[in-house]
């Protein structure tokens, strides 16, 4: 039987260093947008009385949003720099409040996960596909959700050959010098955004798509782009594969937002049957 140490990949992108730079741009508007995102996707105005587990907390923004909405929050990340980012927000907005705790740990470590028991809301945005063991991570998070609880995840879409090329690009990024890294960032920005920005310009509303992106999640398009380019290990899944996996474990799909078969993540909100 494999343990967490043998499962955790040796090659991985340092997400926390990227998120520490993002925190310099964080403001109240972005925090409010993150709160709004949780409310809309979960269909809940308040998280009062709920236990919220943020698996792979990254910057800590959505842990903070859940805290502001009234939840008892547990946050953890594998990356120590990400843990430090989350701790920074906790100290800034919830100093000495035991309603929010932050730890370092792995979603692949079943022994570590036992400490959380069952939670009402498990949130893991763009995290599980970076573990190197996607379906082990799926199984582990499924076991943490209480009856009637919500599971909110986003998973990279399977594009077949294109996904294999992205995997190669991400690995190349992580093994390259700063000049090559900036070339890859520029290439990826053009590939992801040129159509939207071109149409925005034609409509006389330049950069509108970038502005709307921030309003959708409270995140920064630039730092999300670096997160995307550097995000290795990298796994993907088709929507029906994710749906079937959780359906077999008594989860009902409450919300599905796909990237229309293209680049990016599909979003899922599941609810475990009572």
**Is the pTM here over 0.85, yes or no?**
no
Per residue in 118-171, pLDDT (tens digit) is: 999 999 998 999 999 999 999 999 999 999 999 999 999 998 888 888 888 888
**Among the listed residues 168, 149, 142, 226, the one whose alpha carbon sits nearest the alpha carbon of residue 192:** 226
Q: How many domains does the chain have?
A: 2
Q: Exposure pattern of 21-34 as b/e (b: 16+ CB <10 Å)?
A: ebbeebeeebbebb
Which residues fall within 8 angstroms of residue 274, CB to CB, at 6 or more apart? 147, 148
45, 97: one domain: yes
Percent of the chain with pLDDT over 70: 86
User: Can you give the CATH number for the domain in which 249 is found?
Assistant: 3.40.50.150
9, 59: one domain: yes
Residue 9's domain spans which residues?
A: 4-158+235-272
Q: What whole-number distance in Å separates Cα of residue 74 and Cα of residue 83?
A: 12
268, 142: one domain: yes
Whose structure tokens read 């993540």? 265
Q: How confident is the model at residue 248 (pLDDT cuts 50, 70, 90)?
A: very high
Per residue in 181-214, pLDDT (tens digit) is: 889 888 888 887 777 777 877 778 777 776 666 5
List the beta strands (DSSP E) in 24-139: 51-55, 72-77, 100-104, 119-125
113, 225: one domain: no
**Among the listed residues 171, 144, 139, 125, the one whose alpha carbon sits nearest the alpha carbon of residue 9:** 171
184, 221: one domain: yes
């Amino acid at each position: 039987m494999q343990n967490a140490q043998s499962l955790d990949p040796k090659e991985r992108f340092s997400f926390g260093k990227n998120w520490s730079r993002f925190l310099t741009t964080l403001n109240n508007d972005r925090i409010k947008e993150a709160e709004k995102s949780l409310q809309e996707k979960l269909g809940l105005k308040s998280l009062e009385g709920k236990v919220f587990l943020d698996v792979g907390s990254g910057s800590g923004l959505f842990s903070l949003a859940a805290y502001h909405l009234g939840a008892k929050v547990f946050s953890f990340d594998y990356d120590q720099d990400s843990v430090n980012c989350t701790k920074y927000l906790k100290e800034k907005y919830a100093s000495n409040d035991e309603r929010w705790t932050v730890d370092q740990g792995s979603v692949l470590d079943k022994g570590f996960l036992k400490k959380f028991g069952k939670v009402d809301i498990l949130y893991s945005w763009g995290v599980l596909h970076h573990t190197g063991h996607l379906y082990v991570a799926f199984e582990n998070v499924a076991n943490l959700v209480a009856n009637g609880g919500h599971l909110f995840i986003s998973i990279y879409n399977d594009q077949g050959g294109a996904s294999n090329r992205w995997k190669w690009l991400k690995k190349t990024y992580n093994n390259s010098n700063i000049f090559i890294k900036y070339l890859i960032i520029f290439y990826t920005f053009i590939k992801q955004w040129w159509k939207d920005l071109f149409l925005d310009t034609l409509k006389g509303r330049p950069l509108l798509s970038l502005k709307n992106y921030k309003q959708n999640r409270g995140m920064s398009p630039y730092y999300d782009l670096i997160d995307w380019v550097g995000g290795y290990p990298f796994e993907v899944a088709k929507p029906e594969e994710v749906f079937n996996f959780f359906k077999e474990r008594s989860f009902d799909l409450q919300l599905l937002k796909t990237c229309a078969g293209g680049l990016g993540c599909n979003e899922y909100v599941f609810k475990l049957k009572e």
